[in-house]
Chains A and B, each alone.
Chain A
Protein backbone atom coordinates (compact mmCIF):
# COMPACT_ATOMS: atom_id res chain seq x y z
CA UNK A 1 0.00 0.00 0.00
CA UNK A 2 2.85 2.35 0.90
CA UNK A 3 4.64 1.57 -2.37
CA UNK A 4 1.51 2.18 -4.37
CA UNK A 5 0.95 5.56 -2.73
CA UNK A 6 4.51 6.64 -3.42
CA UNK A 7 4.20 5.51 -7.01
CA UNK A 8 0.96 7.43 -7.45
CA UNK A 9 2.42 10.58 -5.92
CA UNK A 10 5.57 10.50 -8.02
CA UNK A 11 3.57 9.83 -11.16
CA UNK A 12 1.39 12.84 -10.40
CA UNK A 13 4.52 14.91 -9.88
CA UNK A 14 5.92 13.87 -13.25
CA UNK A 15 2.77 14.44 -15.26
CA UNK A 16 1.24 17.70 -16.44
CA UNK A 17 -2.49 17.58 -15.87
CA UNK A 18 -5.30 20.06 -16.38
CA UNK A 19 -5.90 22.17 -13.27
CA UNK A 20 -8.82 21.33 -11.00
CA UNK A 21 -9.97 24.84 -10.20
CA UNK A 22 -13.61 25.14 -11.29
CA UNK A 23 -16.79 25.27 -9.21
CA UNK A 24 -20.54 25.04 -9.93
CA UNK A 25 -20.76 28.69 -11.02
CA UNK A 26 -18.14 28.07 -13.73
CA UNK A 27 -20.07 25.03 -14.94
CA UNK A 28 -23.26 27.11 -15.10
CA UNK A 29 -21.36 29.82 -17.00
CA UNK A 30 -19.97 27.29 -19.47
CA UNK A 31 -23.34 25.68 -20.26
CA UNK A 32 -25.55 28.77 -20.23
CA UNK A 33 -22.84 30.87 -21.88
CA UNK A 34 -22.70 28.59 -24.91
CA UNK A 35 -26.49 28.49 -25.25
CA UNK A 36 -27.85 31.91 -24.34
CA UNK A 37 -27.04 33.39 -27.76
CA UNK A 38 -29.84 31.11 -29.05
CA UNK A 39 -32.37 33.21 -27.13
CA UNK A 40 -31.14 36.38 -28.81
CA UNK A 41 -31.21 34.96 -32.34
CA UNK A 42 -31.96 31.82 -34.32
CA UNK A 43 -34.99 30.47 -32.38
CA UNK A 44 -37.23 32.83 -34.34
CA UNK A 45 -37.03 30.63 -37.46
CA UNK A 46 -39.21 28.19 -35.50
CA UNK A 47 -41.90 30.87 -35.68
CA UNK A 48 -41.48 30.97 -39.47
CA UNK A 49 -42.01 27.20 -39.63
CA UNK A 50 -44.93 26.80 -37.25
CA UNK A 51 -46.26 30.23 -36.24
CA UNK A 52 -46.05 31.71 -32.74
CA UNK A 53 -47.87 28.86 -30.99
CA UNK A 54 -45.93 26.30 -33.08
CA UNK A 55 -42.68 27.87 -31.80
CA UNK A 56 -43.99 27.75 -28.23
CA UNK A 57 -44.78 24.04 -28.55
CA UNK A 58 -41.32 23.48 -30.08
CA UNK A 59 -39.83 25.45 -27.17
CA UNK A 60 -41.57 23.17 -24.63
CA UNK A 61 -40.78 19.93 -26.50
CA UNK A 62 -37.13 20.89 -26.97
CA UNK A 63 -37.10 21.91 -23.30
CA UNK A 64 -38.12 18.38 -22.36
CA UNK A 65 -35.47 16.96 -24.72
CA UNK A 66 -32.73 19.05 -23.13
CA UNK A 67 -33.93 18.41 -19.58
CA UNK A 68 -33.43 14.70 -20.33
CA UNK A 69 -29.98 15.52 -21.74
CA UNK A 70 -29.10 17.48 -18.58
CA UNK A 71 -30.30 14.71 -16.25
CA UNK A 72 -28.44 11.97 -18.11
CA UNK A 73 -25.29 14.07 -18.39
CA UNK A 74 -25.41 14.93 -14.70
CA UNK A 75 -25.41 11.27 -13.70
CA UNK A 76 -22.85 9.90 -16.13
CA UNK A 77 -20.43 12.83 -16.14
CA UNK A 78 -20.37 13.15 -12.37
CA UNK A 79 -19.17 9.53 -12.37
CA UNK A 80 -16.91 9.61 -15.47
CA UNK A 81 -15.32 12.96 -14.66
CA UNK A 82 -12.91 13.31 -17.58
CA UNK A 83 -12.09 15.85 -20.27
CA UNK A 84 -14.00 15.07 -23.41
CA UNK A 85 -17.33 14.63 -21.60
CA UNK A 86 -19.56 12.34 -23.64
CA UNK A 87 -16.50 11.07 -25.54
CA UNK A 88 -15.07 9.65 -22.31
CA UNK A 89 -18.49 8.23 -21.42
CA UNK A 90 -18.86 6.50 -24.80
CA UNK A 91 -15.39 5.01 -24.41
CA UNK A 92 -16.40 3.29 -21.18
CA UNK A 93 -20.02 2.37 -21.88
CA UNK A 94 -20.07 1.45 -25.58
CA UNK A 95 -16.68 1.23 -27.28
CA UNK A 96 -13.95 2.94 -29.31
CA UNK A 97 -15.82 3.47 -32.60
CA UNK A 98 -18.77 5.13 -30.84
CA UNK A 99 -16.35 7.20 -28.76
CA UNK A 100 -14.51 8.39 -31.88
CA UNK A 101 -17.79 9.46 -33.48
CA UNK A 102 -19.03 11.20 -30.33
CA UNK A 103 -15.71 13.04 -30.04
CA UNK A 104 -16.10 14.24 -33.62
CA UNK A 105 -19.77 15.19 -33.07
CA UNK A 106 -18.80 17.40 -30.16
CA UNK A 107 -15.74 18.98 -31.75
CA UNK A 108 -17.70 19.91 -34.87
CA UNK A 109 -20.75 21.10 -32.91
CA UNK A 110 -18.67 23.57 -30.90
CA UNK A 111 -16.32 24.49 -33.72
CA UNK A 112 -19.17 25.42 -36.07
CA UNK A 113 -21.12 27.20 -33.35
CA UNK A 114 -17.95 29.10 -32.45
CA UNK A 115 -17.53 30.21 -36.07
CA UNK A 116 -21.15 31.40 -36.13
CA UNK A 117 -20.70 33.27 -32.83
CA UNK A 118 -17.62 35.27 -33.82
CA UNK A 119 -19.17 35.98 -37.22
CA UNK A 120 -22.28 37.38 -35.51
CA UNK A 121 -20.23 39.32 -32.93
CA UNK A 122 -18.30 41.06 -35.72
CA UNK A 123 -21.49 41.81 -37.62
CA UNK A 124 -23.11 43.24 -34.50
CA UNK A 125 -20.26 45.75 -34.17
CA UNK A 126 -20.85 46.66 -37.81
CA UNK A 127 -24.62 47.09 -37.19
CA UNK A 128 -23.93 49.22 -34.12
CA UNK A 129 -21.59 51.47 -36.11
CA UNK A 130 -24.12 51.72 -38.95
CA UNK A 131 -26.79 52.90 -36.53
CA UNK A 132 -24.41 55.64 -35.46
CA UNK A 133 -23.96 56.59 -39.13
CA UNK A 134 -20.66 54.85 -39.91
CA UNK A 135 -20.11 52.03 -42.39
CA UNK A 136 -17.27 49.75 -41.33
CA UNK A 137 -16.30 46.17 -42.24
CA UNK A 138 -17.15 43.38 -39.79
CA UNK A 139 -14.16 41.13 -40.55
CA UNK A 140 -11.52 42.86 -38.35
CA UNK A 141 -13.81 42.66 -35.33
CA UNK A 142 -14.62 39.00 -35.93
CA UNK A 143 -10.88 38.26 -36.02
CA UNK A 144 -10.29 40.43 -32.95
CA UNK A 145 -12.95 38.64 -30.87
CA UNK A 146 -11.54 35.27 -31.87
CA UNK A 147 -7.98 36.37 -31.03
CA UNK A 148 -8.97 37.70 -27.60
CA UNK A 149 -10.99 34.60 -26.69
CA UNK A 150 -8.27 32.24 -27.91
CA UNK A 151 -5.75 34.13 -25.77
CA UNK A 152 -8.04 33.92 -22.75
CA UNK A 153 -8.48 30.16 -23.22
CA UNK A 154 -4.75 29.68 -23.86
CA UNK A 155 -3.82 31.34 -20.56
CA UNK A 156 -6.06 29.41 -18.21
CA UNK A 157 -9.47 27.89 -17.65
CA UNK A 158 -10.24 29.70 -14.39
CA UNK A 159 -10.01 33.18 -15.91
CA UNK A 160 -11.81 31.98 -19.05
CA UNK A 161 -14.87 30.73 -17.22
CA UNK A 162 -14.86 33.51 -14.61
CA UNK A 163 -15.12 36.00 -17.48
CA UNK A 164 -17.84 33.82 -19.00
CA UNK A 165 -19.77 33.89 -15.74
CA UNK A 166 -19.77 37.70 -15.68
CA UNK A 167 -20.77 38.25 -19.33
CA UNK A 168 -23.34 35.42 -19.32
CA UNK A 169 -24.97 36.80 -16.18
CA UNK A 170 -25.03 40.27 -17.78
CA UNK A 171 -26.66 38.90 -20.96
CA UNK A 172 -29.27 36.99 -18.92
CA UNK A 173 -29.93 40.13 -16.88
CA UNK A 174 -30.62 42.06 -20.10
CA UNK A 175 -33.44 39.58 -20.90
CA UNK A 176 -34.91 40.08 -17.42
CA UNK A 177 -34.69 43.88 -17.80
CA UNK A 178 -36.50 43.68 -21.14
CA UNK A 179 -39.18 41.48 -19.56
CA UNK A 180 -39.77 44.04 -16.79
CA UNK A 181 -39.58 46.89 -19.34
CA UNK A 182 -42.54 45.56 -21.36
CA UNK A 183 -44.77 45.56 -18.24
CA UNK A 184 -46.04 41.96 -18.25
CA UNK A 185 -48.38 42.87 -15.37
CA UNK A 186 -50.39 45.14 -17.73
CA UNK A 187 -51.44 43.08 -20.81
CA UNK A 188 -52.49 45.29 -23.72
CA UNK A 189 -50.38 48.27 -22.67
CA UNK A 190 -47.11 47.18 -24.35
CA UNK A 191 -47.59 43.49 -25.05
CA UNK A 192 -50.35 42.73 -27.55
CA UNK A 193 -50.70 38.95 -27.44
CA UNK A 194 -54.46 39.20 -27.81
CA UNK A 195 -54.10 40.89 -31.22
CA UNK A 196 -50.93 39.21 -32.49
CA UNK A 197 -51.33 35.52 -31.68
CA UNK A 198 -53.00 33.43 -34.38
CA UNK A 199 -53.90 29.78 -34.90
CA UNK A 200 -51.27 27.39 -36.31
CA UNK A 201 -50.64 28.76 -39.83
CA UNK A 202 -49.26 25.48 -41.26
CA UNK A 203 -51.03 23.00 -38.98
CA UNK A 204 -49.23 20.33 -36.96
CA UNK A 205 -46.68 19.56 -39.68
CA UNK A 206 -45.48 23.14 -39.15
CA UNK A 207 -45.11 22.43 -35.44
CA UNK A 208 -42.97 19.37 -36.18
CA UNK A 209 -40.86 21.41 -38.63
CA UNK A 210 -40.42 24.04 -35.89
CA UNK A 211 -38.64 21.46 -33.68
CA UNK A 212 -35.50 22.00 -35.79
CA UNK A 213 -35.16 25.59 -34.60
CA UNK A 214 -36.71 24.98 -31.18
CA UNK A 215 -33.36 23.37 -30.35
CA UNK A 216 -31.81 26.83 -30.52
CA UNK A 217 -33.22 27.73 -27.13
CA UNK A 218 -30.99 25.11 -25.48
CA UNK A 219 -28.34 23.85 -27.97
CA UNK A 220 -25.03 23.39 -26.16
CA UNK A 221 -26.04 22.86 -22.50
CA UNK A 222 -24.36 19.46 -22.72
CA UNK A 223 -21.09 21.39 -23.04
CA UNK A 224 -20.84 21.50 -19.24
CA UNK A 225 -19.43 17.96 -19.38
CA UNK A 226 -16.29 19.07 -21.18
CA UNK A 227 -14.99 20.74 -18.03
CA UNK A 228 -15.42 17.57 -15.94
CA UNK A 229 -11.69 17.02 -15.47
CA UNK A 230 -11.11 20.59 -14.31
CA UNK A 231 -13.74 20.89 -11.56
CA UNK A 232 -12.73 20.63 -7.92
CA UNK A 233 -15.68 18.45 -6.99
CA UNK A 234 -17.27 16.68 -9.98
CA UNK A 235 -19.89 14.88 -7.91
CA UNK A 236 -21.30 18.21 -6.71
CA UNK A 237 -20.32 20.84 -9.27
CA UNK A 238 -21.38 19.07 -12.47
CA UNK A 239 -24.98 18.17 -11.52
CA UNK A 240 -25.47 21.51 -9.77
CA UNK A 241 -24.05 23.58 -12.63
CA UNK A 242 -25.84 21.60 -15.35
CA UNK A 243 -29.27 21.43 -13.69
CA UNK A 244 -29.23 25.10 -12.66
CA UNK A 245 -28.13 25.86 -16.23
CA UNK A 246 -31.10 24.12 -17.84
CA UNK A 247 -33.48 25.82 -15.36
CA UNK A 248 -31.99 29.21 -16.33
CA UNK A 249 -32.46 28.42 -20.01
CA UNK A 250 -36.06 27.27 -19.56
CA UNK A 251 -36.84 30.60 -17.87
CA UNK A 252 -34.96 32.59 -20.53
CA UNK A 253 -36.68 30.70 -23.38
CA UNK A 254 -40.17 31.30 -21.96
CA UNK A 255 -39.50 35.02 -21.44
CA UNK A 256 -37.98 35.36 -24.91
CA UNK A 257 -41.01 33.82 -26.64
CA UNK A 258 -43.46 35.78 -24.47
CA UNK A 259 -41.85 39.17 -25.10
CA UNK A 260 -41.08 38.80 -28.82
CA UNK A 261 -44.45 37.28 -29.75
CA UNK A 262 -46.26 39.98 -27.77
CA UNK A 263 -44.53 42.80 -29.62
CA UNK A 264 -44.21 41.64 -33.25
CA UNK A 265 -46.40 39.68 -35.68
CA UNK A 266 -45.28 36.09 -36.30
CA UNK A 267 -44.76 36.79 -40.02
CA UNK A 268 -42.00 39.27 -39.10
CA UNK A 269 -40.37 37.28 -36.30
CA UNK A 270 -40.19 34.16 -38.46
CA UNK A 271 -38.33 35.91 -41.26
CA UNK A 272 -36.25 38.36 -39.24
CA UNK A 273 -33.05 38.33 -41.26
CA UNK A 274 -31.42 41.15 -39.31
CA UNK A 275 -30.08 38.68 -36.77
CA UNK A 276 -31.70 39.50 -33.44
CA UNK A 277 -35.41 39.32 -32.52
CA UNK A 278 -34.85 40.28 -28.86
CA UNK A 279 -32.98 43.39 -29.96
CA UNK A 280 -35.82 44.13 -32.38
CA UNK A 281 -38.26 43.69 -29.50
CA UNK A 282 -36.38 46.36 -27.58
CA UNK A 283 -36.57 48.63 -30.63
CA UNK A 284 -40.34 48.09 -30.74
CA UNK A 285 -40.68 49.45 -27.21
CA UNK A 286 -39.09 52.74 -28.36
CA UNK A 287 -37.04 52.94 -25.14
CA UNK A 288 -33.44 54.07 -25.88
CA UNK A 289 -32.21 52.50 -22.64
CA UNK A 290 -33.73 49.11 -23.49
CA UNK A 291 -32.32 49.32 -27.03
CA UNK A 292 -28.79 49.92 -25.73
CA UNK A 293 -29.09 47.23 -23.03
CA UNK A 294 -30.36 44.62 -25.50
CA UNK A 295 -27.69 45.50 -28.05
CA UNK A 296 -25.01 44.97 -25.40
CA UNK A 297 -26.77 41.81 -24.17
CA UNK A 298 -26.85 40.37 -27.69
CA UNK A 299 -23.15 41.11 -28.24
CA UNK A 300 -22.18 39.64 -24.85
CA UNK A 301 -24.20 36.48 -25.51
CA UNK A 302 -22.34 35.89 -28.79
CA UNK A 303 -18.97 36.46 -27.08
CA UNK A 304 -19.86 34.17 -24.15
CA UNK A 305 -20.94 31.44 -26.54
CA UNK A 306 -17.75 31.70 -28.56
CA UNK A 307 -15.68 31.63 -25.38
CA UNK A 308 -17.39 28.46 -24.13
CA UNK A 309 -17.11 26.80 -27.53
CA UNK A 310 -13.37 27.57 -27.72
CA UNK A 311 -13.01 25.85 -24.34
CA UNK A 312 -15.10 22.80 -25.24
CA UNK A 313 -13.87 22.12 -28.77
CA UNK A 314 -10.29 22.02 -27.48
CA UNK A 315 -11.15 19.61 -24.60
CA UNK A 316 -12.85 17.12 -26.92
CA UNK A 317 -9.92 17.24 -29.38
CA UNK A 318 -7.39 17.02 -26.54
CA UNK A 319 -9.10 13.98 -24.99
CA UNK A 320 -9.09 12.11 -28.30
CA UNK A 321 -5.40 12.93 -28.76
CA UNK A 322 -4.59 11.63 -25.26
CA UNK A 323 -5.99 8.21 -26.16
CA UNK A 324 -4.32 8.39 -29.61
CA UNK A 325 -7.65 8.42 -31.42
CA UNK A 326 -5.90 11.38 -33.04
CA UNK A 327 -2.13 12.06 -33.04
CA UNK A 328 -0.91 12.21 -29.43
CA UNK A 329 0.67 15.59 -30.18
CA UNK A 330 -2.75 17.20 -29.59
CA UNK A 331 -2.68 16.02 -25.97
CA UNK A 332 0.00 18.56 -25.06
CA UNK A 333 -0.63 20.52 -21.85
CA UNK A 334 0.93 23.94 -21.33
CA UNK A 335 3.39 23.62 -18.40
CA UNK A 336 2.56 27.07 -17.01
CA UNK A 337 -1.12 27.62 -17.81
CA UNK A 338 -2.15 23.91 -17.70
CA UNK A 339 -4.39 24.22 -20.74
CA UNK A 340 -4.57 21.99 -23.85
CA UNK A 341 -2.66 24.69 -25.74
CA UNK A 342 -1.92 22.72 -28.90
CA UNK A 343 -5.58 21.79 -29.44
CA UNK A 344 -6.66 25.38 -28.73
CA UNK A 345 -4.23 26.83 -31.29
CA UNK A 346 -4.79 24.09 -33.90
CA UNK A 347 -8.57 24.59 -34.06
CA UNK A 348 -8.54 28.42 -34.10
CA UNK A 349 -7.57 28.86 -37.81
CA UNK A 350 -10.32 26.37 -38.78
CA UNK A 351 -12.89 28.44 -36.85
CA UNK A 352 -11.59 31.56 -38.57
CA UNK A 353 -11.88 30.08 -42.07
CA UNK A 354 -15.49 28.99 -41.44
CA UNK A 355 -16.38 32.36 -39.89
CA UNK A 356 -14.94 34.39 -42.78
CA UNK A 357 -15.86 32.29 -45.81
CA UNK A 358 -18.87 30.00 -45.09
CA UNK A 359 -22.47 31.33 -44.91
CA UNK A 360 -23.92 31.47 -41.39
CA UNK A 361 -26.92 29.21 -42.20
CA UNK A 362 -24.60 26.42 -43.44
CA UNK A 363 -22.35 26.69 -40.39
CA UNK A 364 -25.26 26.53 -37.97
CA UNK A 365 -26.95 23.63 -39.74
CA UNK A 366 -23.71 21.64 -39.52
CA UNK A 367 -23.54 22.43 -35.80
CA UNK A 368 -27.16 21.46 -35.11
CA UNK A 369 -26.87 18.15 -36.97
CA UNK A 370 -23.70 17.16 -35.10
CA UNK A 371 -25.35 18.09 -31.80
CA UNK A 372 -28.44 16.04 -32.63
CA UNK A 373 -26.33 12.98 -33.43
CA UNK A 374 -24.68 13.41 -30.04
CA UNK A 375 -28.06 13.55 -28.25
CA UNK A 376 -29.15 10.38 -30.02
CA UNK A 377 -26.13 8.59 -28.56
CA UNK A 378 -27.04 9.63 -25.00
CA UNK A 379 -30.03 7.29 -24.39
CA UNK A 380 -27.95 4.32 -25.54
CA UNK A 381 -25.16 5.54 -23.29
CA UNK A 382 -27.53 5.77 -20.31
CA UNK A 383 -29.05 2.34 -20.87
CA UNK A 384 -25.61 0.74 -21.12
CA UNK A 385 -24.34 2.61 -18.07
CA UNK A 386 -27.23 1.49 -15.83
CA UNK A 387 -27.28 -2.05 -17.26
CA UNK A 388 -23.54 -2.68 -16.94
CA UNK A 389 -23.08 -0.87 -13.62
CA UNK A 390 -26.45 -0.78 -11.80
CA UNK A 391 -27.09 1.60 -8.89
CA UNK A 392 -25.10 0.60 -5.84
CA UNK A 393 -22.30 -1.11 -7.78
CA UNK A 394 -20.23 2.07 -8.28
CA UNK A 395 -20.42 5.44 -6.54
CA UNK A 396 -22.25 8.13 -8.49
CA UNK A 397 -22.21 11.87 -7.90
CA UNK A 398 -25.86 12.05 -8.93
CA UNK A 399 -28.56 9.50 -9.83
CA UNK A 400 -31.39 10.76 -11.96
CA UNK A 401 -34.90 9.49 -11.12
CA UNK A 402 -37.39 7.55 -13.24
CA UNK A 403 -34.85 5.71 -15.42
CA UNK A 404 -35.46 4.60 -18.23
CA UNK A 405 -38.19 7.15 -18.99
CA UNK A 406 -35.86 10.16 -19.54
CA UNK A 407 -33.70 8.07 -21.90
CA UNK A 408 -36.75 6.77 -23.77
CA UNK A 409 -38.25 10.28 -24.02
CA UNK A 410 -34.95 11.63 -25.31
CA UNK A 411 -34.76 8.94 -28.00
CA UNK A 412 -38.33 9.61 -29.20
CA UNK A 413 -37.80 13.39 -29.28
CA UNK A 414 -34.50 12.98 -31.14
CA UNK A 415 -36.29 10.88 -33.79
CA UNK A 416 -38.98 13.58 -34.15
CA UNK A 417 -36.31 16.29 -34.46
CA UNK A 418 -34.41 14.27 -37.07
CA UNK A 419 -37.64 14.15 -39.09
CA UNK A 420 -38.03 17.93 -38.65
CA UNK A 421 -34.46 18.53 -39.84
CA UNK A 422 -35.02 16.20 -42.78
CA UNK A 423 -38.02 18.30 -43.85
CA UNK A 424 -35.88 21.41 -44.20
CA UNK A 425 -32.29 20.24 -44.61
CA UNK A 426 -32.53 16.68 -45.95
CA UNK A 427 -29.49 16.91 -48.22
CA UNK A 428 -27.29 18.39 -45.49
CA UNK A 429 -28.40 15.67 -43.07
CA UNK A 430 -27.51 12.91 -45.53
CA UNK A 431 -24.20 14.60 -46.39
CA UNK A 432 -23.37 14.84 -42.71
CA UNK A 433 -24.13 11.17 -42.07
CA UNK A 434 -22.00 10.24 -45.11
CA UNK A 435 -19.14 12.29 -43.66
CA UNK A 436 -19.30 10.45 -40.34
CA UNK A 437 -19.43 7.07 -42.10
CA UNK A 438 -16.25 7.91 -44.05
CA UNK A 439 -14.57 9.15 -40.84
CA UNK A 440 -15.59 5.93 -39.07
CA UNK A 441 -14.06 3.81 -41.85
CA UNK A 442 -10.81 5.79 -41.55
CA UNK A 443 -10.79 5.21 -37.80
CA UNK A 444 -11.65 1.50 -37.93
CA UNK A 445 -9.27 0.51 -40.73
CA UNK A 446 -6.37 2.91 -40.16
CA UNK A 447 -6.28 4.96 -36.99
CA UNK A 448 -7.36 2.31 -34.46
CA UNK A 449 -3.99 0.56 -34.67
CA UNK A 450 -2.45 3.53 -32.81
CA UNK A 451 -5.02 3.66 -29.98
CA UNK A 452 -3.91 2.87 -26.42
CA UNK A 453 -6.41 0.04 -26.19
CA UNK A 454 -6.12 -1.12 -22.58
CA UNK A 455 -5.05 2.18 -21.08
CA UNK A 456 -8.01 4.14 -22.44
CA UNK A 457 -10.37 2.55 -19.89
CA UNK A 458 -9.35 4.51 -16.82
CA UNK A 459 -12.26 4.03 -14.41
CA UNK A 460 -11.41 1.50 -11.70
CA UNK A 461 -14.85 -0.07 -11.76
CA UNK A 462 -15.72 -3.73 -11.30
CA UNK A 463 -16.37 -5.84 -14.37
CA UNK A 464 -19.66 -4.90 -16.08
CA UNK A 465 -22.71 -6.98 -15.17
CA UNK A 466 -22.95 -10.04 -17.40
CA UNK A 467 -19.22 -10.20 -18.25
Chain B
Protein backbone atom coordinates (compact mmCIF):
# COMPACT_ATOMS: atom_id res chain seq x y z
CA UNK B 1 0.00 0.00 0.00
CA UNK B 2 2.66 2.55 1.05
CA UNK B 3 4.97 1.47 -1.80
CA UNK B 4 2.12 2.07 -4.23
CA UNK B 5 1.75 5.63 -2.92
CA UNK B 6 5.33 6.38 -3.95
CA UNK B 7 4.76 5.00 -7.44
CA UNK B 8 1.47 6.88 -7.71
CA UNK B 9 3.26 10.12 -6.76
CA UNK B 10 5.77 9.61 -9.61
CA UNK B 11 2.97 8.86 -12.11
CA UNK B 12 0.82 11.86 -11.11
CA UNK B 13 3.87 14.16 -11.18
CA UNK B 14 4.84 12.93 -14.64
CA UNK B 15 1.27 13.44 -15.90
CA UNK B 16 1.16 17.01 -14.54
CA UNK B 17 4.52 17.97 -16.04
CA UNK B 18 3.59 16.38 -19.40
CA UNK B 19 0.34 18.34 -19.51
CA UNK B 20 2.12 21.61 -18.77
CA UNK B 21 4.76 20.91 -21.44
CA UNK B 22 2.01 20.07 -23.95
CA UNK B 23 0.12 23.27 -23.12
CA UNK B 24 3.36 25.27 -23.25
CA UNK B 25 4.16 24.13 -26.80
CA UNK B 26 0.54 24.48 -27.83
CA UNK B 27 0.44 28.14 -26.73
CA UNK B 28 3.82 28.92 -28.29
CA UNK B 29 2.76 27.58 -31.68
CA UNK B 30 -0.76 29.04 -31.62
CA UNK B 31 0.17 32.63 -30.66
CA UNK B 32 2.77 34.94 -32.14
CA UNK B 33 5.77 36.04 -30.10
CA UNK B 34 4.70 39.68 -30.33
CA UNK B 35 1.42 38.80 -28.60
CA UNK B 36 2.93 36.63 -25.88
CA UNK B 37 5.54 39.21 -24.82
CA UNK B 38 3.25 42.23 -25.21
CA UNK B 39 2.84 42.75 -21.45
CA UNK B 40 3.51 46.26 -20.17
CA UNK B 41 4.45 47.28 -16.67
CA UNK B 42 1.36 47.83 -14.52
CA UNK B 43 -0.33 51.16 -14.28
CA UNK B 44 -1.20 52.42 -10.84
CA UNK B 45 -4.78 53.31 -10.04
CA UNK B 46 -3.39 56.15 -7.92
CA UNK B 47 -2.33 57.97 -11.05
CA UNK B 48 -4.67 60.31 -12.91
CA UNK B 49 -5.78 59.07 -16.32
CA UNK B 50 -3.79 61.76 -18.12
CA UNK B 51 -0.57 60.67 -16.46
CA UNK B 52 -1.18 57.04 -17.35
CA UNK B 53 -1.63 57.95 -20.99
CA UNK B 54 1.66 59.80 -21.02
CA UNK B 55 3.31 56.75 -19.48
CA UNK B 56 2.07 54.67 -22.37
CA UNK B 57 3.25 57.23 -24.87
CA UNK B 58 6.82 57.02 -23.61
CA UNK B 59 7.02 53.45 -24.91
Contacts and interface: CB of A to CB of B under 8 A. Distances in A.
Contacts of B36: 16, 332-333, 335
B6 A140 contact: yes
A154 B51 CA distance: 33
Contacts of B10: 140, 143-144
Nearest to B15: A147
A335 B29 CA distance: 12
Given A17-B39, A458-B58, A460-B52, A345 B13 contact: no
Q: Is the interface of B mostly helix, strand, loop or mixed?
A: helix
A228 interface: yes
B24 A345 contact: yes
A79 B46 contact: yes
Interface size class on chain A is 35 or more
B55 A331 contact: no
Most-contacted residue by chain B among A81, A129, A454 (CB, 10 A): A81
Contacts of B41: 82-83, 88, 229, 319, 322, 458
A328 interface: yes
A457 B52 CA distance: 13
B13 A4 contact: no
Contacts of B19: 151
B36 to A, nearest CB: 4
Interface string A1-42: 100110110010011111010000000000000000000000
A427 interface: no
A460 B52 CA distance: 7
A151 B16 contact: yes
Contact of A147 (B5, B13, B23, B49): B13
B12 to A, nearest CB: 6
A345 B52 CA distance: 32
Nearest to B10: A140
Contacts of B47: 395, 460
Nearest to A454: B58
B54 A151 contact: no
A167 to B, nearest CB: 19
Given A7-B56, A140-B6, A140-B9, A322 B42 contact: no
Contact of B39 (A8, A18, A81, A336): A18
Contacts of A150: 16-17, 20
B20 A151 contact: yes
Contact of A341 (B6, B9, B24, B53): B24
Nearest to A333: B39
A228 B28 CA distance: 27
A188 interface: no
Interface in A75-99: 78-83, 88
B39 to A, nearest CB: 5
Contact of A335 (B2, B20, B24, B35): B35
Interface string A226-241: 0011000111000000
Interface of B: 2-3, 5-7, 9-10, 12-13, 16-17, 19-21, 23-24, 27-28, 31, 35-42, 44-47, 49-59
20 contacts: A1-B50, A11-B40, A11-B56, A20-B42, A78-B46, A80-B44, A82-B42, A137-B6, A143-B9, A143-B10, A146-B13, A148-B16, A228-B42, A235-B44, A332-B37, A336-B27, A341-B24, A396-B46, A397-B46, A459-B44
Top 9 A-B pairs ranked by shortest CB distance? A229-B42, A140-B9, A15-B38, A147-B13, A460-B55, A144-B9, A460-B51, A134-B2, A147-B16
Given A7-B56, A15-B40, A322-B41, 6 more contacts: A5-B53, A17-B40, A17-B42, A235-B46, A455-B58, A460-B54
